């Protein structure tokens, strides 16, 4: 594996008139990494993906792919391929012809490209589907064909633009596992755009959280989840109690804005803790129950794992925090 980053953004901006879709982004993606770009709609993540692919050009800054400045290089001359959310398969071609299409454009002879297409279909676990049309496939099967079509060109970087967005929950979870396994097997750099934080946390080696055209934080899923840098990251990645300095100090924490994950809050009988509150509401979540508690300083959420006894609305409860549960954040939102 080379030390040259697979993708590098240096002070990249992309403006559309007065709109700063991407506003001074610095980012490095390592070779062979599964890297996620996570953020709400309009945060700049998809524009960054289009900048890597060449479908957009930067207003300022530079983009390098394996050390080469590609800021002015057209899409077809970049060693990247994109898998889109809508898959964009040709309905009049067979599955095999869809997969082989990129090789046909490159002038590869028919026998070679069809053999390569069959290899790719086997790789994505569709070895017997080559003669079917896209309309005869399920959503999950079409997604695999789109993957095979992108991989047949042997890109060094594969870009995935919310590719699981159109699938139902069960299929999405299955495809998350398959995508991650496929990436490990191939060793190709994957750059994956999503607004689904659970998807990014479960799949990525590292992720960048976007907000208002800028990168709010980059790190491993555990780093971003456990030590969010800003209030935005704490609120967007997972569920968190975001507490002002006065609330933090009342709980024995620092005089700063802090993030407190609900699973770090343990409920005990009210007389066994100096921190007390009254249960306002319970919300069943399957693997646990979210308990909303009113305290003198404000509202706090706790997550009680399934199988443990639950309080009832109106009950008084004691509150115990896990060690280092109060994570201080930067002052800005």
Which segments of the chain are extended strands (E)? 7-16, 19-29, 34-38, 60-65, 68-69, 80-83, 157-161, 189-194, 206-211, 214-219, 241-243, 258-260, 265-269, 276-284, 288-295, 298-305, 316-321, 327-328
Report pTM: 0.90
CA geometry: angle 322, 323, 325, nearest 5 deg: 70
Start-to-end CA span in the chain (Å) = 38
Tell me phi and psi for residue 37, to 5 degrees. -110, 115
Q: Do 7-235 and 243-328 agree at the fold level?
A: no
CATH code reported for the domain at 7-235: 3.40.50.300
User: From CA 191, how far away is CA 179, in angstroms rounded?
Assistant: 12
DSSP summary character for residue 322? P
More confident residue, 244 or 84: 244
pLDDT tens digit sequence for 125-176: 899 999 999 999 988 889 889 989 999 988 999 999 988 877 778 878 888 8
pLDDT at 219 over 70: yes
pLDDT at 2: 57
What integer pLDDT is reported at residue 331 of this predicted model? 63
Q: Where are the domains of the chain?
A: 7-235, 243-328
Tell me, what's the pLDDT at 315? 95
- Which spans in 72-168 are helix H? 95-105, 110-123, 139-151
**243-328 has which fold?**
OB fold (Dihydrolipoamide Acetyltransferase, E2P) (2.40.50)
């Amino acid at each position: 594996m080379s030390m040259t980053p697979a993708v590098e953004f240096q002070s990249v901006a992309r403006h559309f008139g007065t709109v700063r879709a991407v506003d001074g982004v610095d980012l490095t993606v390592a070779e062979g990494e599964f890297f996620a770009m996570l953020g709400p709609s309009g945060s700049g993540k998809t524009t960054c993906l289009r900048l890597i692919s060449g479908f957009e050009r930067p207003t300022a800054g530079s983009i390098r792919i394996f050390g080469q400045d590609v800021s002015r290089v057209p899409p077809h001359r970049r060693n990247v391929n994109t898998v889109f959310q809508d898959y964009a398969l040709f309905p009049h071609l067979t599955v095999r012809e869809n997969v082989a299409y990129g090789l046909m454009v490159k002038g590869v002879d028919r026998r070679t490209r069809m053999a390569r297409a069959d290899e790719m279909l086997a790789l994505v676990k569709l070895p017997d589907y080559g003669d079917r049309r896209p309309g005869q496939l399920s959503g999950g099967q079409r997604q695999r064909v789109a993957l095979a079509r992108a991989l047949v060109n042997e890109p060094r970087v594969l870009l995935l633009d919310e590719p699981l967005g159109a699938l139902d929950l069960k299929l999405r979870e299955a495809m998350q596992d398959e995508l991650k396994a496929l990436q490990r097997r191939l060793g190709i750099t994957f750059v994956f755009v999503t607004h689904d934080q659970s998807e990014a946390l479960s799949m990525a080696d590292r992720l960048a959280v976007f907000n208002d055209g800028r990168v709010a934080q980059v790190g491993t899923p555990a780093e971003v989840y456990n030590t969010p840098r800003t209030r935005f990251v704490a609120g967007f990645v997972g569920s968190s109690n975001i507490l002002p300095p006065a609330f933090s100090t009342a709980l024995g924490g620092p005089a700063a804005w802090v993030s407190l994950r609900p699973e770090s809050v343990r409920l005990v009988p009210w007389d066994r803790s100096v921190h007390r509150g009254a249960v306002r509401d319970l919300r069943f979540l399957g693997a646990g129950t979210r308990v909303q508690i009113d305290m003198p300083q404000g509202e706090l959420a706790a997550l009680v794992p399934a199988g443990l006894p639950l309080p009832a609305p109106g009950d008084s409860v004691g509150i115990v925090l896990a060690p280092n549960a109060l994570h201080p954040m930067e002052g800005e939102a």
